C-alpha cells in the first residue's frame, strides 16, 4: 500500500488507478501528451479529469483542473488528495496554473505523482507552490 488516509478511507494506489483511467480519455490531437487526474473528496467521492486540447491553445484545459472543476460543479468543496499521471512514463507535476487553482481549492490536499514504473511521490502544496498569490 502506498499511503492511506483515514479521513476518506481511500488507498492512494486506487486514486492513481482512477487517474490512469482518466488519462485514457484525454483529447490530445496536437501534443499526443495524455494526462489523467483523479481527485478524492474528504468523504471519499472521486472525480476524474483528463487534459483536453484545442487548436486555440489558450482554450486547452489541464487534467487537474478538469477533475477539480467537475467536483466543484457537483457541489463538492473539501478535497483530500489528487493523483496525476501522464503518457510520458515519468512523474508529471502540475503546471503553474493548476498549482494556483489547487492553492485556492485544495490548499491542504496531498498531490500524488505516479510514473509507469509504479513509483509515486507525494507532495504538500507548499512543496510545489511555497509562495502563492492570494487575495
pLDDT by 10s per residue, the chain, length 135:
333 444 556 789 999 999 999 999 999 999 999 999 999 999 999 999 999 999 999 999 999 999 999 999 999 999 999 999 999 999 999 999 999 999 999 999 999 999 999 999 999 999 999 988 888
Write down the pLDDT at residue 78.
97
Write down the pLDDT at residue 8.
53
Is residue 8 annotated as involved in ligand binding?
A: no
Domain limits, the chain: 4-128
Give the CATH class of 4-128. alpha beta
Q: Does 53 participate in catalysis according to the annotation?
A: no
> Under DSSP, is residue 135 helix (H, G, I), strand (E, B) or coil?
coil
Q: What is the per-residue burial (b if ≥16 Cβ within 10 Å, else e) of 45-84?
A: bbbbbbbbbeeeeeeebbbbbbbbbebbeeebeebbbbbb
> Under DSSP, is residue 40 helix (H, G, I), strand (E, B) or coil?
strand
Ranges of beta strands (E only) in 12-69 are 35-41, 46-50
Is residue 50 annotated as involved in ligand binding?
A: no
How many residues in total does the chain contain?
A: 135
The residue from 18, 53, 64, 80 that is catalytic is 64
pTM of the model: 0.92
Residue located via cell numbers 507532495: 123
Count Cα neighbours of 65 within 13 Å in the Cβ-side half-sphere: 16
The closest alpha carbon to 78, from 36, 108, 113, belongs to: 108
How does DSSP classify residue 55? Answer: S
Amino acid at each position: 500500500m502506498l499511503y492511506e488516509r483515514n479521513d476518506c478511507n481511500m488507498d492512494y494506489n486506487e486514486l492513481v488507478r482512477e487517474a490512469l483511467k482518466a488519462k485514457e480519455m484525454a483529447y490530445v490531437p496536437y501534443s499526443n501528451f495524455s494526462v489523467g487526474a483523479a481527485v478524492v473528496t474528504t468523504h471519499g467521492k472521486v472525480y476524474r479529469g483528463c487534459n483536453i486540447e484545442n487548436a486555440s491553445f489558450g482554450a486547452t484545459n489541464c487534467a487537474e483542473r478538469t477533475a477539480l472543476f467537475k467536483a466543484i460543479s457537483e457541489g463538492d468543496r473539501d478535497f483530500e488528495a489528487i493523483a496525476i499521471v501522464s503518457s510520458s512514463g515519468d512523474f508529471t507535476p502540475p503546471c503553474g496554473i493548476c498549482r494556483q487553482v489547487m492553492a485556492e481549492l485544495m490548499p491542504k490536499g496531498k498531490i500524488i505523482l505516479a510514473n509507469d514504473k509504479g513509483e509515486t511521490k507525494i507532495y504538500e502544496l507548499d512543496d510545489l507552490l511555497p509562495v502563492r498569490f492570494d487575495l
